[in-house]
Amino acid sequence: MRILVDEEEVPWDEAWQIVTQTFAFTNHTVLPEALEKWPVSLFQQLLPRHLQIIYDLNWTFLQSVARKFPGDVDRLARMSLIEESHGQQIRMANLAVLGSFKVNGVAELHSELVKTTILKDFVDFFGVSKFRNVTNGITPRRWLDQCNPALSSLITDTLGSRAWLKDLNLLRGLLKYDTDPSFQKKWAAAKANNKERLAKYIKDTLGITISTTAMYDIQVKRIHEYKRQSLNILGVIHRYLTIKAMTVEERKKVTPRVILFAGKAAPGYWMAKLIIRLIVNVAKVVNVDPDVKDILTVLFLPDYSVSLAELLIPASDISQHISTAGTEASGTSNMKFCLNGGLLLGTVDGANIEIAEEVGSENVFFFGHLTPAVEKLRYQHRYEPVPLEEKCPALAAVLEDILSSRYGEAGIWEPFVNTIRQGDYYLISDDFDSYLRAQSMVDDAYSQDPKKWIQKSIHTTAKMGKFSSDRAIMTYAEEIWNVEAVKIN
């Protein structure tokens, strides 16, 4: 807008029409802290002309809102580009919606939440036609062919060509082989090859030997309280304590697991770094305990990167996508793991829902409360709290173990424990028992019927066609950008 008006001398109304016919806004979060707000004082110092333009746009916009909703002062305050409380701030999401011809979320649930929560006022003003959904996608060229050559070669040999790399729906051709013993054996061999490759990397970089025959349970993503790596490590401690309480004979019946974490925390996100520290300290205790040797291994892999992801994802038997319901916009690591034949353990959130719709709910391990219950549960935490020992004894025992100094001085962990005991915004205590039941179902499915597990793995990969980035880009092209494909000879 500034360039058009100030440098190109385009009249204001014409310039704004050009702007609003040029830009589309893809929203990637419903978390308030991720919807950027920039202090007006910063704008005044660094971008004074831009601030003038924002003020002028806001004045015109709020006049339009007042005409459509006369007397609704609260609505004006909510929709304003300027937040007046706690010091004036520019609401960047509001500005993006105002300056765009389309707005989309990145998964069906997320797009619905965008329309019914954070941008509801804008839907009322502009109409629902401005708001769309385009579910995220991943490229099979990198996230299967490049990172998993063993599985890619098997798929190509089975389907008879590499055409599936450009039309991922062709993977459905694998379905007729999902119960074939010979194909299942080759599928399992590809998974074993990937486990051995990852185990070698871990041995070479960390000097740690891990089993290649255990179940590989992997959670890799940005470290954040809403993504609930905390729930995972609390579950690990519960598993550890449960195994230690068993007899030697009982331990022989336990499904061996290698549980791997990886990911990065924002530099200033202290709680996320405390969660990493807890994972590392739990691993130090578990991995030297003879009571759980060859049954349970826990590692946090440092220096997470795309290259490391390309080793981790193909090796997964089960991956965890366990965000508090209603907080994950979409996620794409869930798609990557499933494309490589790893089964999904998760909450009914983000793209997990659409993955289950495609691959079948019988091939996904769901747990936890649903999105409509979240705010009521948070209200109960605040105004009608129930002692944790009464509400979730299993979790209370885990927190007591953390504060026993087994994993380091108790005082280090008190801030983390208090986030659960006081408020529990991300519903750890509400979902913990359900999470343990889901983990038990995973153990049973993996150990009791290995052939059925392989069938589920094949079925999952075969039904992942929807989640190609090619489909996502075509949807953007057809429904938002209004551009046509050009064939290149």
For the chain, first and last CA: distance in Å? 39
Of the residues 222, 273, 391, 406, which is catalytic? 222
DSSP-based helix, strand, coil % in the chain, nearest 5: 60, 10, 30
Tokens representing residue 370 in the block: 């649903």
213 carries an active-site annotation: no
Do 321 and 331 meet the contact criterion of CB atoms below 8 Å apart? Answer: yes
Choice among 91, 102, 132, 227 that is catalytic: 227
Q: 141 an active-site residue?
A: no
Q: Name the nearest CA neighbour of 318 among 355, 363, 263, 348.
A: 363
Query: Length of the chain in residues, anyone?
Result: 489
Q: Which two tokens stand for residue 439?
A: 């983990």
- Residue 227 is a catalytic residue: yes
233's enclosing H/E stretch is helix 229-244
Q: Are 368 and 386 in contact (CB under 8 A)?
A: no
Cα(129)–Cα(131) distance, integer angstroms? 5
Distance, in Å, from the CA atom of 117 to the CA atom of 169, rounded to the nearest integer, reads 34
Residue in 156, 158, 212, 332 annotated catalytic: 332
Going by their DSSP bridges, the two strands 82-83 and 89-91 should be labelled as antiparallel
> Is 222 designated active site?
yes
Going by C-alpha positions, the residue among 20, 126, 23 that lies closest to residue 79 is 126
Is 255 designated active site? no
Angle between helices 306-315 and 181-206 (to 10 degrees): 140
**Quick one: three-class SS letters along 30-85?**
CCHHHCCEEEHHHHHHHCHHHHHHHHHHHHHHHHHHHHHCCCCHHHHHHHCCEECC
Q: Is 110 a catalytic residue?
A: no
Active-site entry in 228, 238, 336, 369? 336
d(CA 253, CA 278): 28
Cα dist from 14 to 205, 425, 471, whole Å: 59, 46, 34
Q: Which of 2, 28, 166, 451 is catalytic?
A: 28
Catalytic residue among 37, 221, 224, 463: 221
Catalytic residues: 28, 221-222, 227, 332, 336
